Amino acid sequence: MFVFFCPHCGENREEEEFGYGGEAFIPRPSAPETLDDDAWGDYLFMRKNPKGWHWEMWSHNTGCRKFFVVKRNTATNAIAGSWTLSDGRKAYDAEGGAT
Amino acid sequence: MTSFRVRRPGARIDFEKPLSFSFDGQPYSGFAGDTLASALLANGVRMLARSFKYGRPRGIVGSGPEEPNALMQIETGAHTIPNLKATQVELYDGLTARRTTGYPTLEFDLKSIGGVFARFMPAGFYYKTFQNQKLWPKFEHIIRQAAGYGSAPAEPDPETYDHSHRHAQVLVVGGGASGLLAALAAGRAGLKVVLLDEQKECGGWLLSSPYSIIGGKAADAWLKIVIGELQSMPNVEVLTRTSAFALHDMNLVLAVEQLQDHLPLAERAVNRPRQRLHRIRAESVVLATGAIERPLVFGNNDVPGIMTASALTTYLNRYGVAVGKRVLLHTSNDHVYQGACDLIRAGCEVVLADARARVNPAWEKRARAAGVDLRLGYGISFARGGREVNGAQLVKLDAGQNVVTGTGPSIDCDALGSSGGLSPTVHLYCHDGGRPHWDEEKLAFVVPATGRAKSRIYCVGAVTGEFGLQQALEQTQRTIGDLLASLGKPTDTTSAVDVRTDEPQTVPPRRIFRIPDGKREGHGKKAFVDFQNDVSAADIHLAVRENYRSIEHIKRYTALGFGTDQGKLSNVNGFAIAADARGVSIPEVGTTTYRPAYSPVTFGTLAGLHADETFEPRRYSAMHACHVARGAEFEPVGQWLRPWYFPLPGEDMHAAVRRECLAARRGVGIMDASTLGKIDLRGKDVREFLGRVYANDWAKLAPGKCRYGLMLDENGMVMDDGVTACITDDHFVMTTTTGGAARVLSWLEKWHQTEWPDLDVYMTSVTDHWATAAIVGPKSREVLAKVCAGIDLSSSAFKFMDWREGTVAGIPARVFRISFSGELAFEVNVDANYGHYVWEALMDAGGEFGITPYGTETMHVLRAEKGFIIVGQDTDGSMTPLDLDMAWAVSMKKPFSFIGKRSFARSDTAGPNRKQLVGLLTEDPEIVLAEGAQIIERADTAPPVPMLGHVTSSYYSPELKRSIALAVVRDGINRRSEEGRKAGRNVLYAHAGGKAHKVRLVSPVFVDPKGERQNV
Ligand SMILES: [Zn+2]
C-alpha cells in the first residue's frame, strides 16, 4: 500500500483513495486518420512495462478527482515524486523522456 | 507423568488462581498465567497430536508461534477456532480444547499401523500419485480426513472485529529487551512511539531468564522499571497481545490485537471487538523481532517430550513447569547453558551433550559447578521412546567433520531439549523485498545491523544476529542513536541506560544441523526437519537426488515450511541439509520467500467492520419503500437493489412477468428507472465534448431535445450507451447504464484532464439527485395528463425524443419522452426527495387505467422484443456499432475524429466474419434457450464443432406468445439478409442443455419493426 502526495490537494494520502491511470505521456495522435494500422496499434496497445522507473498516472478518486503524474520504480516501489500533468511533463522532458 | 510444578522467582504463574479446562473431553486444571501448552505439560499430557503423513505421536515442541504440533480446536459451535497453537492460547477458566489430528482417534491413528502409509509416502507422494488427476477425487476425502487439522466453524461468527489506523513516528516491533530499550530511547526523545508485542506482556526472552542481570538489576526488576517508564510517557503507546504480521511498502505495518480471546466466553463483552487490526503507518520502523531457537535434527527427534531447549527453559522459568525430572540437553552452542543451570536449581538431573569438543570455558565452569553432567563432543544418534521419550543413544563426533567416530553412552531421560542455534525472526524485514544474508560464524540468516536506512527500517537485537544480551543492547543503543541523530534529536537518551550484563562472552557454535548416526541418510531412524508436514532429512536428500535444485522447488516438493508455523523451526535446518546434500554453501541455496502473514490471521480481522452491507453498501432508490409495500421481488444490479418483478398472490415469476409485459404493451405500466447513471455537464464546450466521446453527432441537438448515444472506447468497441438531453446550449444531462455510471464519469474526466483541458466542461454525478419513474404504454399519456401541469402533452407539441419541464403532482419535474420498450412512454424525473411521493401520485393517477408496476425482468423482455441492447449483456467489449447493426448511431462526418473512429478501419475491425448481433427464433416456439448457449452450424455435435457465436439474451415473449433470443453470430447480418436466407445460411443450431435446437436468424426487432408505437 502506497502513500501518494496529491499535488492538487497538497496532501499525502493512502493508496485506497487513488486509482491507477496507466502509463503517462501517451498523447492521442492529433490526426488519427493519417496513421497506418501499425502506428495506431502502437498508440492503442503498446506500453513500456519497464523494470525500474516508470512514469504513470494516478487519479485521486475519492479526493479531488484529478489526474496527476507519479514516477515510481516498479521493482522497488520507490516513488521519486508526484506532479501535476503539466509539471510532470516538464520533469519527464527534462530527463529526456527516458525511463 | 514425570512433569511437576515448581515455584520460580519471577515466574508468571499465579498459584493462588487455579483454573479448570478440558482437553479432548478430559478435565484438567492449571493456573492463571498458564498457556494451554504449559498447563497440559504440567498435567503430564505428552502426546497431543498425530503426525500428518505417518500418524506418529507428537507433543509440544516450542513455546510460542513456532509450535508445529500442538494445534488445537478451541471452544465449540459458533465460537470455535481451529488450529490455534496451544503455546499461544492463554488459559482461562472453562476453556475447552480438542485435538485436531489423529484419525479416527488420537490413541489409535490409522496411518501409524505398521507404517502402512509411511512406506508409500515419500517426498512428492502426492505429485507422483495424483499426476493422474482422475484418482484425486476418489482419495481426497480419505486423505484429507486422515491428515487432520481443525474444522472451520459452520455457524456465522457471532463476534465483531474492527480496524484502527495509526500514525507513528517510531514503531517498535517486539517488546523484548532490545525493543523495550529502543522504545525507551525514542520515547525519551519525545517522539510519538508505538511498541507492539505479541505476548500478553513485554519482556521477550527475559521472561524466561530470571537470572539475567542488566545494569546490576535482575531481569524482572529491570522490566518493571522500563515498562513503568514507557507507560508513564504520554507519547508512547504499548500494545501487547498484538502481533505484527505484515510489513508493506512505505512502512505500513499490519498488526492484530487480541482483545478478548484470553477471557472466558461468559466474560467477553458483547460490545467489544474480539480482535482489532491495526494499520500503522510509521515514519521509522524498528524491528526488534528477536530470534527463535531451532532444534537439532536426529533420529526419532519427534518423540513427545523432546522440545527445543529454550522451550524447556521457558516452561520452567516462566510457567513453573519442569517437563521432566531427568533432562537430557543437546546443543551446538552456548545458549542452553543458563537453562541447564536453572534446571539443576529446580531439582532436575541434567545431562548436557555438547557437539563441540571444546566449549566456552566460562560456561563450562558454571555448568560443572552447578552439577550439570557435561558430555563434550557427543551427539544424539537417536532418541528412544514411543509415546514419550525415555532416553537417547549418544555417539562420539569427530571434532572437525560431522561424522561419527565412535559409540557413546545410552542416557535415560524423561525430557529432552535440543538447540541447534538461533534463527532470527527476519520475516517482516523481508516482506517488502528485503533478503536476509547468511552469517557463517553465527550460523544464522540475519538482517543487516544497519537495517534499511532509505526506507527508515532499523533492526536491533537478536534479529541482526546479536544473540548475547549485552551485545544486543549495545547494538540497540548504537542503532537508535543513529535513528535519533537522523531526526536531529539528542542521542544521549539511550546511553544513560546501563546495559552491562554478567553473561560470559559467547563463543561460536558448531556448524552442525543434522546429527550423524553413522548410517547413510534414509537408512537410520527417521530424523524430522519439519514436524507439521512430516518432512525428514531423508526427504530433502531424496528431493535433491531427484534433481530438485532451487530451494523453492525443494520446498514445494517436500512441503518443507508449508505448515501453519511457516517453517519457523524447520527452514534453516532444511536449507542447511539441502546445501549439504547438494554439496554447496548455504548462501548458494538461499532462503525461500517470506510472505505475509507472519502468523495466521482470521478472515474476520482482515474484514473488520467491512462485512456484509458495510463491505459493499446496498443502494436503494427513493421509491424503494413503494416497491416493498407492493410485494416486489428484488434483484441486485451492481450495488443497487432493484425491483425484479411484482408478483400478485399466487403468481410465479413467469405469470407476473407475462401480466406486466402485456400491461405495458396494451395498457400502462410503471417502472422505477432511478438507478440509471446521470451526469450533469455544463460549460460552453459541452456540445463539442459530447461529439468527441460519443459516436454520434451532437452539433444540432436543440434545447428540449434528447438523443441516444453510443460511447466507444478508443478501440472502437461499445462501452456504454444512454440518452443525453440538451437543457440549454451549455448544459446537458447524460444518462449512463446503471452499472457503468462511475466508470463513465472517470472515463470522461480522464479525457478532459489529459487530452482536452482547454475545453470548458464541468461534470458532476447527479445519479442520486433525481428519482425517475417511467410510465410506459398506450395509456401513459392519459395517466400523466392527470397529474402533469405546465407541459402540453399532445403528440404534436411533445414529440418522441423531446423533453419538457413542468410539474408532476405539483413537484417540479423534467419529463423525457423516451422509450426503452418501444411503446409510448414518459420518464418523469423529480428531486429524489419527492421520489416516493411522485411514485404514489402516479400510481393513484393510473389506478383507473390499471397501471401496473413492473421490474427489471419485464423491462428486459420489453427491450429484447424491440432488439434494444444491454451493454455488457449483448456486448462484451468486442462489438462495434457496426457489429450491432447500429450504423445509424455513428456520424462519420464529424470534423473531430471521435474516440474509437480510427479503429473502425483497423484490419481486424473492418474484416469479414465478425460476430454480429441478430435475432434468433427457435423452431419450437416453446423452447427458451439458455443464455450463453453456443451457436453451431450443424445438429451433429461430433467434434470438431466450430463455434459461431452465442445467445446473449433469451426470453419468452408474452406479446408474441413464443420464445425470442438475441445472439452474436459470425457474419450474422449477412446470414439473416435476403441473400443469406436464400442460401439457407440463416438456419443454425443453438446447443443448450445437451441438445442442439434448430434456430432461424432474423432481425433483432421482433415487435413493431417500423417503430410506430413510440411515436403515437
Ligand atoms: Zn487530490
Q: Could you give all domains of chain A from N- to C-terminal order, each with its CATH number?
A: 3-94 (3.30.2270.10)
| pLDDT of amino acid B612 | 82
User: A77 in contact with B at a CB cutoff of 8 Å?
Assistant: yes
Distance from CA of B786 to the nearest CA of A (A): 44
| pLDDT of amino acid B976 | 97
Q: Do residues B15 and B36 both lie within one domain?
A: yes
How far apart are the C-alpha atoms of B4 and A97, rounded to whole Å? 74
Residue B769 Cα to ligand 1 midpoint, Å, equals 24
Q: Do residues B374 and B437 both lie within one domain?
A: no
Q: Do residues B636 and B774 both lie within one domain?
A: yes
Q: Do residues B266 and B387 both lie within one domain?
A: no
Q: What 3-state class would DSSP assign to B904?
A: helix
Q: Which three cell numbers stand for residue B854?
A: 413492473
Q: Which three cell numbers stand for residue A3?
A: 502513500
Q: Which domain does B943 fall in, by range?
A: 912-1008
Model pTM? 0.89
| pLDDT of amino acid B102 | 67
Query: Quick check: is B577 in a domain?
Result: no
Query: Quick check: is B881 in a domain?
Result: no
Final residue of a structural domain among B824, B839, B862: B862
Q: Do residues B182 and B283 both lie within one domain?
A: yes
Range B72-95 average pLDDT: 96
pLDDT in tens, B638-692: 899 999 999 999 999 999 999 999 999 999 999 999 999 999 999 999 999 999 9
Distance from CA of A84 to the nearest CA of B (A): 11
Q: Do residues B430 and B416 both lie within one domain?
A: no
B746: which chain A residues are within 8 Å (Cβ-Cβ)? 19, 59, 61
| pLDDT of amino acid B788 | 98
A44: which chain B residues are within 8 Å (Cβ-Cβ)? 714-715, 903
A88: which chain B residues are within 8 Å (Cβ-Cβ)? none
In chain A, whose CA is at the least distance from the CA of B282? A3
Q: Do residues B206 and B311 both lie within one domain?
A: no
Range B542-558 average pLDDT: 93
Interchain pair A33, B753: CB under 8 A: no
pLDDT at residue B198 is higher than 50: yes
Residues 897-916 of B with CB under 8 A from A: 897, 901-903, 905-907
B754: which chain A residues are within 8 Å (Cβ-Cβ)? 57, 67, 85
Query: Quick check: is B877 in a domain?
Result: no
Interchain pair A1, B250: CB under 8 A: yes
| pLDDT of amino acid B497 | 82
In chain A, whose CA is at the least distance from the CA of B745? A65
Distance from CA of B619 to the nearest CA of A (A): 18
Q: Among residues B996, B947, B987, which one has the least CA distance to residue B970?
A: B947
Query: Quick check: is B998 in a domain?
Result: yes
Interchain pair B906, A61: CB under 8 A: no
Q: What is the DSSP letter of A99?
A: -
What does the radius of gyration of chain B's CA atoms come to, in whole angstroms? 38
User: A34 in contact with B at a CB cutoff of 8 Å?
Assistant: no
Residue with cell 399532445: B794
Interchain pair A40, B749: CB under 8 A: no
Question: How many Cβ atoms are within 10 Å of B782's Cβ, its own excluded?
Answer: 16
Distance from CA of B894 to the nearest CA of A (A): 13
Q: Do residues B638 and B774 both lie within one domain?
A: yes
Task: List all residues 6 or more positions away from B960 whose beta carbon is below 8 Å from its beta carbon.
Answer: B865, B1006, B1007
How far apart are the C-alpha atoms of B361 and B227, rounded to whole Å? 35
Q: What is the DSSP letter of B77?
A: G
Q: How confident is the model at residue A97 (pLDDT cuts 50, 70, 90)?
A: confident
How far apart are the C-alpha atoms of B577 and B541, rounded to whole Å? 8
User: B713 in contact with A at a CB cutoff of 8 Å?
Assistant: no
Phi and psi dihedrals of B819, rounded to 5?
-150, 130
Q: What is the DSSP letter of B299?
A: B
Residue A83 Cα to ligand 1 midpoint, Å, equals 11
CATH number of the domain that residue B405 is part of: 3.50.50.60
Q: Which three cell numbers stand for residue B168?
A: 507513528
| pLDDT of amino acid B495 | 63
pLDDT at residue B147 is higher than 80: no
Final residue of a structural domain among B530, B546, B562: B546
pLDDT at residue B967 is higher than 90: yes
Q: Which of A32, A61, A67 sits opposite B902 (nearest CB)?
A: A32
Range B958-973 average pLDDT: 98
| pLDDT of amino acid B433 | 80
In chain A, whose CA is at the least distance from the CA of B892? A33
Q: Tell me the HSE value of B186 on the side-chain side, using a 13 A CA sphere.
A: 32
Residue by residue, DSSP assigns B536-604 as EHHHHHHHHHTT--SHHHHHHHHTTT-STTTTTTTHHHHHHHHHHHHTS-HHHH------S-SS---HH
CA angle (B143, B149, B152) in 5-degree steps: 110
Q: Among residues B247, B246, B258, B279, which one has the least CA distance to residue B165?
A: B279
Distance from CA of B905 to the nearest CA of A (A): 8
Give strand ranges (E) for B802-892: 803-808, 811-816, 825-831, 852-853
Sign of CA dihedral B272, B278, B279, B280: positive
In chain A, whose CA is at the least distance from the CA of B165? A14
In chain B, whose CA is at the least distance from the CA of A3? B250
In chain B, whose CA is at the least distance from the CA of A32? B902
- Give CA separation, B220 vs A22, B207, B216, B341, B504, in Å: 57, 7, 12, 18, 20
Interchain pair A37, B249: CB under 8 A: no
Q: Which three cell numbers stand for residue B455?
A: 526506507
| pLDDT of amino acid B89 | 98
Residue A18 Cα to ligand 1 midpoint, Å, equals 9
Q: Which of A32, A57, A65 sits opposite B897 (nearest CB)?
A: A32
Mean pLDDT of chain B: 94
Query: Quick check: is B619 in a domain?
Result: no
CATH number of the domain that residue B655 is part of: 3.30.1360.120
| pLDDT of amino acid B137 | 65
Asked whether the ipTM of the predicted complex exceeds the cut of 0.90, the reply is yes
Q: Do residues B259 and B406 both lie within one domain?
A: no
pLDDT at residue B83 is higher than 60: yes
Q: What is the DSSP letter of B157?
A: P
Interchain pair B897, A31: CB under 8 A: yes
Range B264-285 average pLDDT: 96
Query: Quick check: is B1003 in a domain?
Result: yes
Task: List all residues 6 or more positions away from B861 whose beta carbon is below 8 Å from its beta carbon.
Answer: B657, B661, B955, B956, B957, B958
Q: What 3-state class would DSSP assign to B32?
A: strand
- Give CA separation, B761 vs A7, B687, B688, B754, in Å: 22, 9, 10, 13
Phi and psi dihedrals of B92, rounded to 5?
-135, 165
Residue A14 Cα to ligand 1 midpoint, Å, equals 11
Amino acid present at B659: R
Phi and psi dihedrals of B296, rounded to 5?
-85, 155
pLDDT in tens, B34-44: 999 999 999 99
Interchain pair B907, A37: CB under 8 A: yes
Q: Which of A3, A65, A76 sits opposite B749 (nearest CB)?
A: A65
Q: Is B228 exposed, middle or buried (0-12, 13-18, 19+ CB in 10 A)?
A: exposed
pLDDT at residue B250 is higher than 70: yes
pLDDT in tens, B734-789: 999 999 999 999 999 999 999 999 999 999 999 999 999 999 999 999 999 999 99
Residue by residue, DSSP assigns B163-218 as EEEEEEEEEEE--SHHHHHHHHHHHHTT--EEEE-SSSSS-GGGGG-TT-EETTEE
Q: Do residues B193 and B304 both lie within one domain?
A: no
A69: which chain B residues are within 8 Å (Cβ-Cβ)? none
In chain A, whose CA is at the least distance from the CA of B252? A1
Q: Which three cell numbers stand for residue B579?
A: 546445501
Task: List all residues 6 or more positions away from B649 whose beta carbon is below 8 Å from its beta carbon.
Answer: none
| Angle between the N-to-C axes of helices B337-345 and B309-317, in degrees from 0 to 180, rounded to the nearest 10 | 40
Query: Quick check: is B152 in a domain?
Result: no
| pLDDT of amino acid B111 | 63
| Angle between the N-to-C axes of helices B337-345 and B361-370, in degrees from 0 to 180, rounded to the nearest 10 | 10
Q: What is the DSSP letter of B240?
A: -
| pLDDT of amino acid B101 | 77
Examine residue B600 and say whether the peptide bond preceding it is cis (omega within 30 degrees of 0): no
User: A76 in contact with B at a CB cutoff of 8 Å?
Assistant: yes
Q: Which three cell numbers stand for residue A54?
A: 516508470
Task: List all residues 6 or more positions away from B590 whose beta carbon is below 8 Å from its beta carbon.
Answer: B551, B575
Residues 746-775 of B with CB under 8 A from A: 746, 749-750, 753-755, 757
Q: Which of A59, A66, A76 sits opposite B433 (nearest CB)?
A: A76
User: A36 in contact with B at a CB cutoff of 8 Å?
Assistant: no
pLDDT in tens, B815-827: 999 999 999 999 9
Interchain pair B897, A37: CB under 8 A: no
Q: Do residues B525 and B447 both lie within one domain?
A: no
Range B528-548 average pLDDT: 95
Residue B66 Cα to ligand 1 midpoint, Å, equals 45
Q: Do residues B408 and B451 both lie within one domain?
A: no
Interface test with B, best of A4, A5, A6, A14 (most B CBs within 10 A): A14
| Angle between the N-to-C axes of helices B835-846 and B780-787, in degrees from 0 to 180, rounded to the nearest 10 | 120
Percent of chain B at pLDDT exceeding 90? 86
| pLDDT of amino acid B431 | 93
Interchain pair B902, A35: CB under 8 A: yes
Residue with cell 508485542: B197
Q: How confident is the model at residue B791 (pLDDT cuts 50, 70, 90)?
A: very high
pLDDT in tens, B98-143: 998 766 666 666 666 545 455 456 666 666 666 666 666 666 666 6
Which strands form B731-736's sheet, in the order they lie side by side?
B706-712, B718-728, B731-736, B677-682, B762-765
pLDDT in tens, B479-503: 999 999 999 988 776 667 888 888 8
Q: Is the separation of the CB atoms in B819 and B757 below 8 Å?
A: no
Interchain pair A40, B903: CB under 8 A: yes
| pLDDT of amino acid B611 | 86
How far apart are the C-alpha atoms of B838 and B832, rounded to whole Å? 10
Structure-model confidence comparison of residues B147 and B875, the more confident one = B875
How far apart are the C-alpha atoms of A2 and A98, rounded to whole Å? 24
Phi and psi dihedrals of B756, rounded to 5?
-130, 55
| pLDDT of amino acid B114 | 47
Count of A-B CB contacts under 8 Å: 53
How far apart are the C-alpha atoms of A95 and B177, rounded to whole Å? 48
pLDDT at residue B220 is higher than 60: yes
Residues 450-479 of B with CB under 8 A from A: 454
Query: Quick check: is B371 in a domain?
Result: yes
pLDDT at residue B214 is higher than 80: yes
Q: What is the DSSP letter of B961?
A: T
pLDDT in tens, B434-491: 889 999 999 999 999 888 888 999 999 999 999 999 999 999 999 999 999 999 988 7
Which of A67-76, B49-58, B873-882, B889-898 has the lowest average pLDDT?
A: B49-58
- Give CA separation, B888 vs B164, B568, B866, B870, B891, in Å: 55, 67, 16, 17, 8
Interchain pair B248, A65: CB under 8 A: no
Total domain count, chain B: 5
Residue A87 Cα to ligand 1 midpoint, Å, equals 15
In the structure, ligand 1 is a single-atom ion and the residues with CB under 5 Å from it are A 6, 8-9, 60, 63-64
Percent of chain B at pLDDT exceeding 70? 95
Q: Which of B714, B746, B907 sits opposite A44 (nearest CB)?
A: B714
Interchain pair A59, B252: CB under 8 A: no
